[in-house]
Chain A
Amino acid sequence: MRSRAEWRRGAEWLLRAAALGLLGWCLYASAAGRRATNGTTLATGMDTTHASAGAQLASWTRDAGLERLHVSLAAAPDAVTRDWLHALDAAGTEVTWAGDVPALAIAAEAAADPRGSVRLSVAAPAGVTVHVADGVGRIDSVVAAAGGGSVRAASVVGAVTARADATNARVTPTSERTLRSVVLLGRAGWEAKFTAAALEERGWRVTVRMQVAPGLTVGSAPPLDTARVSAVIALDSTAASEAPAIARYVRAGGGLVLGAEAARLPAFGALTAGRAGATVRAAASYAAAVAPVTQQTLAIAPLRALRPDAVVLERRDAEVVLAARRVDAGRVVQLGYDETWRWRLAGGDDSPEAHRRWWSELVGSVAYAPAADVAAPAVTNEPAPRAALVAALGEAGVAPTGASASPPFDPSRSLLVYIAVALLLCTEWASRRLRGAK
């Protein structure tokens, strides 16, 4: 039977062996590199910006024996990282990727708006919250639905970034639009007056022709062509005399806003998005006479029998109250609202501004407004990072067979291993010294 001292010596020997074994493992791992089985390197949770992943990319690039590289991504890599991976792929290393990278894309378009607002359209999977920011900071957030969401911002500084999870899409807005005058044709009345007022207060140049008496008008209609006119608003039957000129103008690329009364004229039949129905008003009452007017309580002439190419823009309950369509090169939007001036005059505190904005956006949505100039963006645009990733590396794949999904453990780079070696050796030395050996 072995004595206690012999057991102790045996244990000391085991401790020494364990320490040496660990050191040997480190040496082996260091020499063998991070190459896994089948010549595939797995990178899980890889950094997605070049600044942090640069060393890793450089290491892979220097590894001449790297046959396959599979990266697991938590977000879309930035353009440099993506292009680097693409370059590795092109240089002979088969690069595949996997990960839950949201299909995010952003477009920023200067609206046809004298105040220079910007329409930001974001494509993202439904339910994803997208934060939109510019050079100054966050602008707004939108929860994507039915393909994405949109944000209308008064102005942006520099490039606009959409962020969903950790993925960023970035784009520089298109340059401002060249706006020309808006021609308003109507009868002398509150609707014509306040429509012109709303547009002028927003910054549009408005040329009006309002009929006061037979053969007597305030103002006159200018020649209609896209070199001078961005859009025409035909509110009522007094526009009938200009119908042929308006039709020519629209087919040449101009914009037309058609009021319900004008839309009923046969002369505009070829341009309408649908048939203007009878006007529906709320029942007259004292309460209705003093209650604030909202867009929802305006009288409407719902659009019926929509043309196949008509796009519904607004509905009230089941009724279509705003629809648009393209007519050759031009665009037409047909109004189903009546007496929108009441919204401005008798609405809530913000109703004048809402009325102004609504009319301006309505006209802007059809206006002929070419881009002012085309300037090169100051930053690299990355409008659709997942699409770019797929274009560079193909669709997302799965990890190669036989390779572990977990990251390979490199003992030579682990501090714990060296602490363990030190502890083992200290324990062995203490045991030896305590029993009096050298």
Chain B
Amino acid sequence: MVNEFVFATVQYDSGDWDSAPLVPSNVIDAVARYTSIPVAPQGAIVPLASEALLRHPFAWLTGHLPVRFSDAERRMLVRYVERGGLLVVDDHNHDIDGEFHKSATEELRRTLGPLTELPNDHELYRAFFTFEDGPPTTSHELNGWGDNLVHRNLLAHVRNGRIGVLYSNKDYSSEWSYHPDTKRFLAVDNTRFAVNLVVYALTR
């Protein structure tokens, strides 16, 4: 089926773009588990500099290492966001002093302009499930990983009233990088926020 949602992981030249290989299947599982949205059973890997990115209006970018976009990647990212794509960038280090955070935010600011704090009452947090306090905390924030801080807000580049780039220090890449079958052991599914991301992307 072609008219379906495909979870796209962005492959970029620098850094370790494939650091969270289980996130796509887990998000796909969550979308299918809670919604009737047609979804592809497997994710896709799309180079950031490729025109193929424009076939995927929702894309996920993560990593631990410094992020430096090439000119072609920068140009494509600008086109992508201008045309209505949503890129979710997650800091797999969960560390505001980390090189991923510093380099990725610098690259995003340089390419697209300022990143602003997304208010915690933004409709993203009510797009499907309701998250009263904004972005859900991750075990990695609470259990002492990374910078040992609970980040209260996500950052976003908003264009024409819509999020073009969502930047997270929460380390959802670690939080969601597990086999979906083990989800049954969780009292509360921690991938519910991923459903909000996808529903927001598909409906706003």
Contacts and interface: CB of A to CB of B under 8 A. Distances in A.
A189 B202 contact: yes
Nearest to A299: B2
Contact of B37 (A188, A208, A281, A339): A188
Contacts of A339: 2-3
A189 B38 contact: yes
A99 interface: no
A299 B55 CA distance: 14
Given A212-B36, A345-B57, A188 B203 contact: yes
A290 B50 contact: yes
A285 to B, nearest CB: 12
Contacts of B38: 187, 189
Interface in B184-200: 199
Interface centre among B36, B52, B203 (most CB of A within 10 A): B203
A213 B33 CA distance: 10
B36 A197 contact: no
Contacts of A208: 203
Interface of B: 2-5, 34-38, 50-52, 54-55, 57, 82-85, 127-128, 160, 162, 199, 201-204
A208 B3 CA distance: 19
B84 A197 contact: yes
A170 interface: no
B81 to A, nearest CB: 11
A299 B3 CA distance: 11
A292 to B, nearest CB: 7
Contacts of A188: 35, 37, 199, 202-203
Contacts of A194: 57, 84
Given A214-B36, A290-B50, A352-B82, A190 B160 contact: no
Interface string A161-198: 00000000000000000000000000111111110010
A70 interface: no
Contacts, number: 80
B36 A344 contact: no
Contacts of A214: 36
Contacts of B82: 352
Interface in A332-387: 338-339, 341-342, 344-346, 352
A71 to B, nearest CB: 60
Given A192-B203, A193-B201, A212-B199, 20 more contacts: A187-B36, A189-B5, A190-B3, A193-B57, A193-B84, A193-B203, A194-B57, A194-B84, A211-B36, A213-B34, A213-B36, A216-B35, A218-B203, A290-B50, A290-B51, A344-B83, A345-B54, A345-B55, A345-B84, A352-B84
B48 to A, nearest CB: 13
A210 interface: yes
A201 interface: yes
A298 to B, nearest CB: 12
A188 B128 CA distance: 12
A289 B52 contact: yes
A291 interface: yes
Contacts of A342: 55
A187 B37 contact: yes
Interface residues of A, number: 32
Contacts of B3: 189-191, 338-339
15 contacts: A188-B35, A189-B202, A190-B5, A190-B202, A212-B36, A214-B36, A218-B127, A218-B203, A289-B55, A290-B51, A338-B3, A345-B54, A345-B55, A345-B83, A346-B55
Nearest to B128: A212
Contacts of A292: 51
Interface string A271-310: 0000000000100000001111000000100000000000
Contacts of B52: 289-290
A344 B37 contact: no
B192 to A, nearest CB: 13
Nearest to A286: B52
Nearest to B55: A346
A344 B103 CA distance: 30
Contacts of B57: 190, 193-194, 341, 345
A42 to B, nearest CB: 67
Interface in A208-247: 208, 210-214, 216, 218
Contact of A193 (B50, B54, B128, B202): B202
Contacts of A352: 82-84
Given A197-B84, A345-B84, A345-B85, A291 B203 contact: no
A17 B2 CA distance: 102
Name the 10 nearest CB pairs between A and B, nearest first. Answer: A346-B54, A290-B51, A188-B202, A218-B203, A213-B35, A345-B54, A213-B36, A188-B203, A210-B203, A212-B35
Contact of A201 (B37, B50, B127, B160): B160
B15 to A, nearest CB: 23
Nearest to A291: B51
Nearest to B6: A190
Nearest to B202: A188
A288 to B, nearest CB: 10
B134 to A, nearest CB: 20
A120 to B, nearest CB: 31
A281 B5 contact: no
Nearest to A218: B203
Interface centre among A201, A216, A218 (most CB of B within 10 A): A218
A192 B38 CA distance: 13
B133 to A, nearest CB: 22
Interface in A316-345: 338-339, 341-342, 344-345
